[in-house]
Amino acid sequence: MKIFITILFTIFATLCYADSLYSRNATTNFDIQRTYYKKNNTSHIGTIITMGFNSVFGIGLGFGNTIYNEHTSSKATLESTLIGVEYYVQKKSDKIPVIISISAQYENGSLSGSNVSMDGFGFGVTIGLNLFDNQLINLIPFVGLTYTSVTMTEDNSFYDYHLEESYTETDVPITYGLSLSANLNQKQCIYIRPVYTKTKNNDFVEYLIGYHMDI
C-alpha cells in the first residue's frame, strides 16, 4: 500500500514540478466545507488549505471536523491529516474549453473519544466544461469518477492482551457538481461549489466555499 502511494505521488509531483517550471505561478486556496450525509442524517464541517504551483499541486490539512448526528444529538471530532496532489489542465478551444483534473489523496485520522482510527486513499479523474467565462464570473459544471479505499481499525487491547479489528471498504463513487466563481481582480476570486456524490452505501451533498489567490 505505502509503496503504491509513494509511486503515485512521485509521478504526480514530477508532473507538477515540470508544470511549475513553465508557469512560475504560485496559488493559494482556502476552503470551508460542509457535507450533509443523507443515510444517517449526519453533517460534517471542516477546512482545507492548499498551496501549489499553477493549481496543480496541493497539500491539504483537515482541522477539527465535527460530525453531528441529528437523531441522537451526539458529536464527535475527526482529527485527520490529508495530503493530496492534483494535475490540472485546461484545453484551449474555439468553442467550450474542457478542464481535466487528475488527483490523488491520502488521509489518516482518528475519532476523538474512541479507539477507532481511519486510513484511506483515493484517486480519480474529473472533467468540466467552462460554459461561461468572462472577467467577472466563471461557471463550470463537472463530473468525476474516483476509486477509494478506506480501512477502519478498532483497537480493543487491554493490559498485555492485543486485539485489533479492522475492515477495508472500496468504492467507485460518481460525483456531479457545479463551480461558480466571482473574480475580485485578476489574481483573486471567491467561489462556491455544490457537489453531489453517490456511493454504494450513502449519498451526500457538499457545499464548498472558498477563496483563491495567485501569488
Report the CATH number that the domain containing residue 74 is assigned in CATH: 2.40.128
pLDDT at position 152: 80
Q: Residue 120's closest CA among 165, 168, 164?
A: 168
> What does each C-alpha distance from 214 to 68, 88, 95 come to in angstroms?
35, 15, 26
- Cα 179 to chain centroid, rounded: 14
Domain coverage including residue 108: 2-214
Check whether 64 has a pLDDT greater than 50.
no
CA max distance for the chain? 69
Distance CA 186, CA 208 (A): 22
> What does each C-alpha distance from 180 to 54, 65, 141, 195 come to in angstroms?
19, 24, 9, 12
pLDDT at position 55: 47
Range in 54-68, 110-124, 182-196 with the lowest mean pLDDT: 54-68
What's the mean pLDDT in 74-88?
Answer: 63
User: Which residues are bridge partners to 50 per DSSP?
Assistant: 29
* Residue 150: CB atoms within 10 Å: 15
The more confident residue out of 190 and 14 is 190
* Residue 69: CB atoms within 10 Å: 14
> Domain count of the chain?
1
Per-residue pLDDT tens digits for 142-156:
899 988 888 888 877
Burial class (CB in 10 A: 0-12, 13-18, 19+), 60: buried
Check whether 43 has a pLDDT greater than 50.
yes
On whether the CB atoms of residues 194 and 180 are closer than 8 A, the answer is no
Check whether 21 has a pLDDT greater than 50.
no
pLDDT at position 22: 46
pTM for this model (two decimals): 0.66
Check whether 24 has a pLDDT greater than 60.
no
Distance CA 108, CA 123 (A): 15
Rounded to the nearest 5 percent, the helix, strand and coil shares of the chain are: 10, 65, 25
pLDDT at position 210: 75
Q: Residue 194's closest CA among 150, 133, 126, 141?
A: 141
Per-residue pLDDT tens digits for 168-205:
888 888 989 888 888 888 778 888 888 888 887 777 77
Within the chain, residue ranges assigned H as helices are 2-23
